[in-house]
Amino acid sequence: MPRSGLPLLGLDDELVRDVAQGSDAALAELYDRHAASVYRVAVSVARDRSVAEEVVQETFLALWNRADIYDAGRGSLVSWLSTIARNRALDRVRAVARRPPAAPLSRLSADQPDPAATIDWLVASGHLLGGGAPDLEPEDVVAAREANSVLANALTGLTAVERLPIVLAYRDGLTQFEIAARLGWPLGTVKTRSRRALRRLRDALTEMVDEETPRSPADVPREPMLVRTAAPQPCALPC
């Protein structure tokens, strides 16, 4: 049945019922209809665009998980989503406010921080001068290279429609909602193709691990053993 002829609230109610039954397409349509409104609520509370974007994702994830408890008689869907977004954004703001501020280490041993202390200056400046991870062991480097090679070959073997959402997610850092918007695909299509591609990549890595895992002694065939027995002795008594 075409949805275009339905009233706004009636269409929302129908889509929520579809979401409660597990429809990715219905969730994607609700996202397209109300994401902008939810984002405005979130950014007005958080005052941070990146936080607001995360709140939007959390809000629609809550809709996905709790669509069955939505009651249209108590208010419109956009009001319900806005309430969830406002609460999630407030939680983020309060969490940041509860974090203790950074303090120079010299305060632990002196009444006043030493302006000449390097560590105090680094904390006060707030700029990262450099950093690095510990060097990997040679065997870890080899294993990482082999895994990268296996993944590269597996990616090459994917179809274009399977490879594209993986590249956008792991190279460009896009969420599934953002991938759907960029490619013009339904959200359910993005999820399905991403799951299929990840399953194939996982199978490729599993196959590599299975090939490199040594077999247990129980799996190794043994040579037949010759059992020596003592030579028969003549009976001293009648046998």
Q: Are residues 88 and 29 part of one domain?
A: yes
Report whether 42 contacts 81 (CB < 8 A).
no
- 50-59, 130-139, 165-174, 182-191 — which is least confidently predicted? 130-139
77 band by pLDDT with thresholds 50, 70 and 90: very high
Would 70 be classed as within a structural domain? yes
Number of H helices, E strands in the chain: 9, 0
- Which amino acid belongs to residue 187? L
Q: Are residues 92 and 12 part of one domain?
A: yes
Would 125 be classed as within a structural domain? no
- Which amino acid belongs to residue 46? A
- 39-53, 150-164, 165-179, 218-232 — which is least confidently predicted? 218-232
Distances in whole angstroms, Cα of residue 85 to Cα of each of 41, 46, 78, 117, 193: 7, 10, 10, 44, 28
Mapped onto helix, strand or coil, the DSSP state of residue 92 is helix
pLDDT tens-digit readout, 83-106 = 999 999 998 888 877 765 555 444
Listed residues 77, 98, 119: the one ending a domain: 98
Structure token pair of residue 110: 């002196």
Would 202 be classed as within a structural domain? yes
Number of domains in the chain: 2
Would 56 be classed as within a structural domain? yes
Would 80 be classed as within a structural domain? yes
Listed residues 98, 132, 166: the one ending a domain: 98
Report whether 182 contacts 174 (CB < 8 A).
yes
Which residues form the domain of 196? 142-212
CATH number for the domain that contains residue 193: 1.10.10.10
